[in-house]
Amino acid sequence: MKIIVTGGAGFIGSHIVDACLRAGHDIEIIDNLSTGSSENIPRDVTVHRIDIRDVLAVAEIFKTFQPDAVCHQAAQLSVSRSVREPLLDADINCLGLLSVLDAAVATDCKRMVFASSGGVLYGDVTEPALETAPANPLSPYGITKWAGEKYLNFFAREHGLTSVALRYSNVFGPRQNPHGEAGVVAIFCKQFLNGHAAHINGDGKYVRDYVYGPDVAAANLAAIELSKASFASEKVVSLNIGTGIGTDVNELEEKLRTHIGLLRECAGERKILPGPEHGPERVGDLRSNLLDASLASNVLGWKPTHSLDEGLEATSHWFFEKK
C-alpha cells in the first residue's frame, strides 16, 4: 500500500513509519519538523516539510502520490498549551485535520487512521473506560480530538471514507520529545540524565495508563491494513489503545529514577539522584484515566506486548545513549 504519515518525523509517527516499512508498504511523510526530528526518518523515505494547514501544498502531495491510506499523527499535543492557546490548538488540530481529509477524498484515498485520545475524551475515570463511555473532554485539546472524530463521521457519510480513530492512552518510549510540555516519561528521563530531581506537578497521585510507543505503532499498522468488511455501515471505528493498568506519577518517577540510576552507576557516575520536587498542580490535568482496549483486541487483533517496566527500561537506555 501507498501510505502518507503526517507527523511522521515525530515520536509516534516515526515508529509508525518503521512498522509500515517493515510490512513492505510505500511511505511518504508530511511534517513541518516543529517538534519532530529528521534523525527519526529513514534515509530512503520522502519527507515533505510543510504545515498540514497549508491546504494547497497538502492537496498537491496527495495528488502526486495517490495514497491508499493516510495515518494522521500531526497535531498540537500539549494539554496545558491548549488551555493557554485554544485558538492555536483548534487551528492545528481541526483545520489541519480538515486539510488532510479534503486531500484524501479528492484523491480517492481509501483509509484514514486518526490519532485521537482516550486520555482526554473520557475525563476522570477510576476504572478502565470503554468506547461507549460518554465523552467528557475538559481541555481544548480534548475538545479538538472529539471534534476530529465527528469530522471523520461526516466524511464517512458524505464521501464514504472508512476511518479508524485510535484513542491513545499516555504513550511513551524512545524518540519522545523531552523539551515540550507533554510526555512525562521523556521529561523525567532528561531531568535524571542531567542529574536533576524530577519535577512533579501537584501531589503526584495522578493515575495514568502508560502504553509503549512501538505497541501503538503496531495498532496503527493493524488499523491501516484492516479489511473494509470489518466496518459497520457508518464506516468509522473508534478504538481505545492502552493497557488498562493505572500507574501514578510518583510510582512512575521512582521506577524511572531506579532505571536511570543503574545506568549512571554502570557508567561510573556515583552521584545519587535526588528525590522528586513537587510544584503546583497543572491546569487541565485529570486525576485518573484508564482505557479498556478489549475492542481493539477484537477488531484489530491488537494487544500491547511490552509491560510498563520493559518499556521504561528500553526508553531509559535510549535516552542514556542519546545524552
Active-site residue (options: 122, 141, 168, 206): 141
Separation of CA 280 from chain center = 26
CA distance 222 to 20: 10
Give the torsion sign (CA, 67, 21, 38, 187).
positive
- CA 133 from chain center: how many Å? 21
Contact by Cβ (8 Å): 186, 319: yes
User: Which alpha helices (DSSP H) does 23-78 contain, by range?
Assistant: 55-65
Query: Does residue 168 have an active-site annotation?
Result: no
Q: How far apart are CA 182 and CA 291, in angstroms?
A: 19
Give CA separation, 35 vs 4, 76, 193, 212, in Å: 18, 9, 21, 19
Helix axis angle, 11-22 to 213-225, nearest 10°: 50
Cell of 43: 534515509
Q: Which residues are catalytic?
A: 141
